[in-house]
Structures are given as C-alpha cells and as structure tokens.
C-alpha cells in the first residue's frame, strides 16, 4: 500500500521543486518575461506532440477487458494525470503574463512527462517482467528525467540570480546621493603627481615646481 502511495504522489514532484525555486526567488518571479522567453508557439507544439502519447496510451488501456485492467490501474492513473496536465499546460500558454506563470506551466509540463514515464515503468513492475529488467529500465528512465529536470532548475536559478543582482545594483544607484556624482566630477587628478584638485585649478605640486 505504501508503495502504491509513492506511485500516486511521484508525478507531483516537479510542482514541489519548481515551487521551492519560486519561493527562493520570489522577488524576481513577478516580473513580466519577454516574448522570446515565453515562446508560446514552440511550447504549444511540444505539448501537443506529447499529449498525443498520453491520450493514445490511456485509450489503449481503458478498452482492455476488466480482468486484464486490474494490473494496470497505476498506469491508467499516471496516463490520466499526464493527459490532463498537458491539457492544462496548453491552455496556460494563452494567458501567462508573469514569470511565475511560466514557471507554473513548466512545472506542469514536467509533471506530465514524469507521469507519462511512470505509466510505462508501472507496467514493468506490476506485470510479469523480471525484477532486474524492470529495475534497470526504471533506473535509466529516472536518471534521464532527473538529470534534465535538475539541469533546467540550475540554469533557471542562475538566470534568476543574475536578475536579482541587476535589481540590487539598480537600487543602489537610485539610493546614491544626487550630489555625490557632482562632487566627483568637480575634482580631477593630476596625472603626474596623482593629487586630486578642483576642476579649473592647477595641481599644487606642479605650481610649486614651476616657482622653483
């Protein structure tokens, strides 16, 4: 029973990891992303292609006889989650306007892809396949998915960190006293002696050398 609960909860892992990313960078996810970052058409094409796999697999399983369906209930659950999440992510492309909308859409797509893979792995584990074969393919599949997921998270975290540093620099410039730049511009440095003196006047050491 505990193993089945793990199968039921596993597809929601990307929502948790992306939620933590948004929590860490909550000051940056409220920004409005550019059209290039949103890339709605490319996302729609990608989602529609993968949603077809989920729908086809789900349709193939639900038409099986009742006696056979008893060993495929987790696969049917995962395929249902996958198809519904792909459908949700597809609809979300039309009205995402904030950076956290884009993060949510990405998390839903990742959850759908994970559920699609888990549906195949559940068949390997709950049907008459050897344990070594099932564990080997499961380890390979999870490794590929987790590697891609954490690479995406890392790149996104790095980008958001740069955005945060840029914001902090802009705030520091705005907080800088108005007269500070002016005071810096009113003084110049003598290239020979390295002495700062008011603009329009001469370096004291240069004047002293000339008098000598």
pLDDT one-digit tens code per residue, 40-82: 677 777 777 777 777 777 766 766 655 555 667 888 888 889 9
What CA–CA distance (Å, rounded) separates 89 from 15?
13
Please tell me the least confidently modeled range out of 70-74, 169-173, 208-212.
208-212
Mean pLDDT of the chain: 79
At 143, the pLDDT band (50, 70, 90 cuts) reads very high
Please tell me the least confidently modeled range out of 86-90, 125-129, 202-206.
202-206
CB 18 within 8 A of CB 108: no
- Mean of the pLDDT values across residues 179-192? 60
At 13, the pLDDT band (50, 70, 90 cuts) reads very high
- Domain-wise residue ranges, the chain: 2-175, 179-212
- Mean of the pLDDT values across residues 7-16? 92
What confidence score (pLDDT) does residue 54 get? 79
Q: Where are the alpha helices (DSSP H) in 63-98?
A: 66-69, 73-92
What confidence score (pLDDT) does residue 62 get? 65
What confidence score (pLDDT) does residue 12 get? 94
Please tell me the least confidently modeled range out of 94-98, 110-114, 169-173, 208-212.
208-212
Classify 29 as helix, strand or coil.
coil
CA angle 165, 169, 175 (to 5 degrees): 145
In Å, how far are 53, 76, 161 from 21, measured between CA atoms? 29, 30, 11
What confidence score (pLDDT) does residue 38 get? 66
pLDDT one-digit tens code per residue, 18-44: 999 999 988 888 887 776 666 667 777
What is this structure's pTM?
0.70
At 16, the pLDDT band (50, 70, 90 cuts) reads very high
CB 115 within 8 A of CB 84: no
């Amino acid at each position: 029973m505990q193993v089945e609960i793990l199968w039921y909860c596993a597809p929601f892992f990307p929502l948790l990891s992306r939620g933590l990313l948004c929590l860490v960078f909550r000051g940056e996810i409220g920004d409005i992303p550019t059209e290039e970052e949103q890339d709605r058409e490319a996302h729609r094409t990608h989602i529609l292609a993968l949603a077809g796999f989920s729908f086809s697999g789900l349709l193939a399983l639900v038409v099986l006889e009742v006696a056979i369906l008893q060993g495929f209930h987790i696969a049917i659950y995962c395929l249902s989650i996958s198809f519904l999440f792909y459908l949700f992510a597809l609809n979300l492309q039309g009205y995402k306007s904030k950076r956290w909308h884009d993060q949510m859409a990405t998390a839903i797509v990742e959850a759908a892809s994970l559920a699609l893979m888990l549906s195949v792995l559940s068949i390997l584990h709950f049907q008459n396949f050897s344990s070594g074969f099932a564990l080997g393919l499961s380890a390979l599949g999870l490794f590929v998915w987790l590697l891609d997921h954490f690479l995406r998270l890392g790149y996104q975290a790095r980008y958001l960190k740069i955005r945060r540093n840029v914001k902090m620099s802009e705030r520091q410039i705005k907080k800088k006293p108005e007269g500070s730049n002016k005071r810096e511009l009113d003084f110049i440095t003598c290239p020979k002696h390295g002495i700062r003196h008011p603009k329009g006047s001469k370096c004291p050491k240069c004047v002293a050398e000339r008098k000598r």
